[in-house]
Structure 1
Amino acid sequence: MSFIRSPKDVLSGLVFIALALIFAWQAKILPMGSSVRMGPGYFPMVLSGLMGLLGLIVLINGLRFDGDRTTSIAWRGVFFLTLSTVFFGFAMRPLGFLPTLAVTVFLSCLASQKFHLVTALAITAVMVAFSWGVFIVGLGLPIQLIGPWLGGY
């Protein structure tokens, strides 16, 4: 009998831990600051720590409790989620926040095998409105809403 009771959870936990280590390694070059006066590296390092902790919890649960066996990789999800992330990174400046976010959310919806156009459009509209409310209205971040490719400033 194997000591790994849920290979899917063990693999997921290891992926979370590996990503947390990569992000922490990248964030360590940024000034940390303190909890009162946070530097640009503080928040990424905290998120890396939380991701690593969650990965450890998932890994331990995979060793303790029975679960699903690994199945094939969902290539559709991998493709569309990677594409949407890369698109967001490259299109933010030329297209602006709102159009880039709308395309990114819609591409992310395409990752699901249960994709429905009406649902994807509704999710896109809600996420764009919510993000505008949080980041622009609530936090007052100086993010360009419409980029120069679409006639923005």
Structure 2
Amino acid sequence: MERRRSLPDVLAGVIFVLIGGAFVVGALGYELGTPLRMGPGAFPLLVGVAVATLGLAIVVKGLIAGEVISFGPIPWRAVGLIVLAVLFFGATVRGLGFVPTSAVTALLATLASTRVRLLMAVAVAAGLTVAGTLIFVVGLQLRVPLWGPWLGF
């Protein structure tokens, strides 16, 4: 019987181990406390250990019982538009304000799908903008202007 190795599982497991390790290292800079009176570093330490352990299990699974999976072509349009949307939001939310930045970000993210037409993308972006404004600015009182100084409001 031939054993197959799954490179995606091994790589994903290594990423989890690295992230978990970073949490553990970061948590060691805080007081851990005792089991009955945990300090601020206890929870990140436990989360880091759990994530690293799961990552190690994924690596072992990928090395021992991996599956060969055909991913197909990479959707570069979707990858590019999603990355662009996130970068756009981070770069312009203070200057343009929450409403226009959310609208453009949602529009870019919606257009990442090849199945969505422009009219549907605009409708989804409008709905997400209204929902995001109600949730984050009104409900959670996020301190970000609705309309930014770049627009003259």
TM-score (norm 1): 0.63
Structure whose alpha-carbon radius of gyration is higher:
2
Q: How far is the alpha carbon of 1:115 from its aligned partner? A: 2.5
Which residue is equivalent to 2:140?
139
Say what the alpha-carbon RMSD is for the aligned residues. 4.1
Q: How far is the alpha carbon of 1:66 from its aligned partner? A: 5.6
Question: Residues of 1 paired with 2:135 and 2:77: CA distance?
Answer: 30
Work out the number of aligned pairs and report it: 134
Q: How far is the alpha carbon of 1:65 from its aligned partner? A: 8.1
Which residue is equivalent to 1:122?
123
Question: Residues of 2 paired with 1:11 and 1:84: CA distance?
Answer: 29
Question: Residues of 1 paired with 2:115 and 2:67: CA distance?
Answer: 27
The unaligned stretches of length 5 or more in structure 2 are: 32-39
Letter paired with 2:75 = A
Letter paired with 1:80 = L
Matched residue SS, 2:119: helix
Matched residue SS, 2:141: coil
The verdict on how the C-alpha distance between 1:96 and 1:78 changes in structure 2, with shifts beyond 3 A counting, is: same
Which residue is equivalent to 2:16?
17
TM-score (norm 2): 0.63
The unaligned stretches of length 5 or more in structure 1 are: 34-38, 40-44
Which residue is equivalent to 2:80?
79
Q: Does 1:112 align with 2:131?
A: no
Quote the sequence identity (%): 30
The verdict on how the C-alpha distance between 1:24 and 1:132 changes in structure 2, with shifts beyond 3 A counting, is: farther
Letter paired with 2:74 = I
Letter paired with 1:17 = F
